Amino acid sequence: MPMTSNNGTGPVKSAFREPVRLEGERVVVRPFEPDDAAALVDVVRAGEDILPPTFPREPSPETLAPWPDGEVHLPQREGTGVHFAVTDRATGVLAGTIGLFRVDWSQLTCEVGYGMRPSWRGRGYATEALTLVSRWALRACGLHRIELRALTTDRASLRVAEKSGFRREGVARGAERGPDGEQRDQAVFGLLRPDLDDAPPGRPPRLVGLGVGPGDPELVTAKAVRILGEADVVLVPVMSLDEEGRAESVVRAYTGKAERVVFALNDRGGVTGRRAAAWDRAADRVLRAFADGARTVAFATIGDPNVYSTFTYLAQTVRERRPDTVVETVPGITAMQDLAARSGTVLAEGAESVGLVPLTGGVAAFRAALDACDTVVAYKFGSVADEVIGTLKDAGRLDDAVCGARLGLPGEDVRPARDLAGPVPYLSTLIVPGRRTTRGGKIA
Ligand SMILES: C[S@@+](CC[C@H](N)C(=O)[O-])C[C@H]1O[C@@H](n2cnc3c(N)ncnc32)[C@H](O)[C@@H]1O
């Protein structure tokens, strides 16, 4: 039967009218009942900030009265929202609240908000409740889009949104007024009805090597950000579990999902035992994630995943052990491109060639590249920096060469190579540009 008009734009949907009870593994999401009043009064007295803005500030058995008179359920009756209690399945204790609001039936959109009581946080309850409510809203109620907003600094909420399958769409700058009067940024997430069909069961698992650039979070592609949001698991290589990794510091600007895996990143001497063991352990982690139902595992790597990245060896190991894995890579901005931009150096013009040489094996290859190529880029040259400078002097190429250390990271240092002094860090790149004299002189 048609209901009253909603802003004159369409019928108010009756979808919320039925009493709803959603059961998960650990939580039950259900309408509020008069018996919840005591627990809610405790929530209000303790100043626990878990009630949605549309919730009556003085919960009582009357305001919580079951359908249709309870004030809490008014939005539900009018089709503009719905409030639910999130309870612990085992004990029935009130763990938090969740609700839909700003429901627009003409656009089939709404927002979702939730809050867990402090002692119930960090245990996966919010993720389970959000997953239950969002799937119900999209599948059973006919809504098309659910929006979720969280402060960009609220890592726990960002993680809940991502784990529940919401995709990060952008940042609403200054959208929330904090208690100190400061306007804060909100991350905006969306979950759409078609998103739920994106990963039909039976689809092969996907391992994605994500290039996240040299260090500056602004140098991450939109595609990488989308996949960080979609991925069920995001792995980042670190040298030790208690140290933030280089790719991790970039990834954390976009997701709280980063999980550390230890790699022997600084080992020398070929395929060392430590290296091989680290590749195997990381592959174990990826395969375990697939076995647990993950469809997409992303592995974030600095720069580009196809340029001297440990992702290559991880992908090989995973493919050998699970041949149906689909391996993809998302290109990233390399350190040499970032240095070119930051130092105002043209990498190649006209018919010039570019050679990229890693110098872990010494400077011989560098010397050869200076003869064979126009522009030469050196990676991993920290341990032979003095010899590199000597070689450049001998070749008469020192004056044009430029060096960048820790690009896009704290302590970034970009300077002419002739000014290099003291030890050069591992994260350093050198560009020796081709010799150019006249405008367009290198055009063939
Ligand atoms: C293992 S390779 C990784 C290359 C990376 N995949 C890329 O596409 O640029 C490490 C080398 O890349 C260069 N590099 C990576 N990030 C850098 C940064 N933030 N600043 C300077 N050099 C960097 C350094 O030469 C470093 O020794």
Contact 306, 312 (CB under 8 A): yes
Condensed to tens digits (0 to 9), the pLDDT of residues 258-292 reads 999 998 766 666 777 788 888 999 999 999 888 87
Architecture of domain 336-432: 2-Layer Sandwich (3.30)
| Site to substitute for ligand 1 among 380, 409, 430, most atoms within 8 A of C-beta | 380
Any atom of ligand 1 within 6 Å of the Cβ of 307: yes
**CA–CA separation, 71 and 75 (whole Å):** 8
Chain center to CA of 351: 39
Condensed to tens digits (0 to 9), the pLDDT of residues 388-415 reads 999 999 999 999 999 999 999 999 999 9
**CA–CA separation, 11 and 317 (whole Å):** 56
Amino acid at 332: G
The CB density around residue 258, as the number of other CB atoms within 10 Å, is 23
Q: Ligand 1 mean position to 210 CA, how many Å?
A: 15
- The percentage of the chain sitting over the pLDDT mark of 90, rounded to a whole number, equals 62
Task: Give me the pLDDT at residue 200, please.
Answer: 56
Give the best-scoring range by mean pLDDT among 16-20, 55-59, 320-324, 337-341. Answer: 337-341
Any atom of ligand 1 within 6 Å of the Cβ of 304: yes
Any atom of ligand 1 within 6 Å of the Cβ of 403: no
Taking all residues of the chain, what is their mean pLDDT, rounded to a whole number? Answer: 89
Domain extents in the chain: 22-197, 206-333, 336-432
- CB within 8 A of 208, min separation 6: which ones? 227, 231, 296, 297, 298, 299, 327, 328, 329, 330
Condensed to tens digits (0 to 9), the pLDDT of residues 117-147 reads 999 998 889 999 999 999 999 988 889 999 9
Joined tokens for residue 20: 């709803």
Q: Ligand 1 mean position to 247 CA, how many Å?
A: 11
- Our CA angle for 16, 20, 22, nearest 5°, is 130
Quick one: 206-333 is in which CATH superfamily?
Tetrapyrrole methylase, N-terminal domain (3.40.1010.10)
Any atom of ligand 1 within 6 Å of the Cβ of 330: no
Cβ-based burial of 1 (10 A; exposed 0-12, middle 13-18, buried ≥19): exposed
Quick one: 22-197 is in which CATH superfamily?
Gcn5-related N-acetyltransferase (GNAT) (3.40.630.30)
Helix axes 311-321, 273-291, angle to 10 degrees: 60
**Which ligand 1 atom sits nearest the alpha carbon of residue 332?**
8
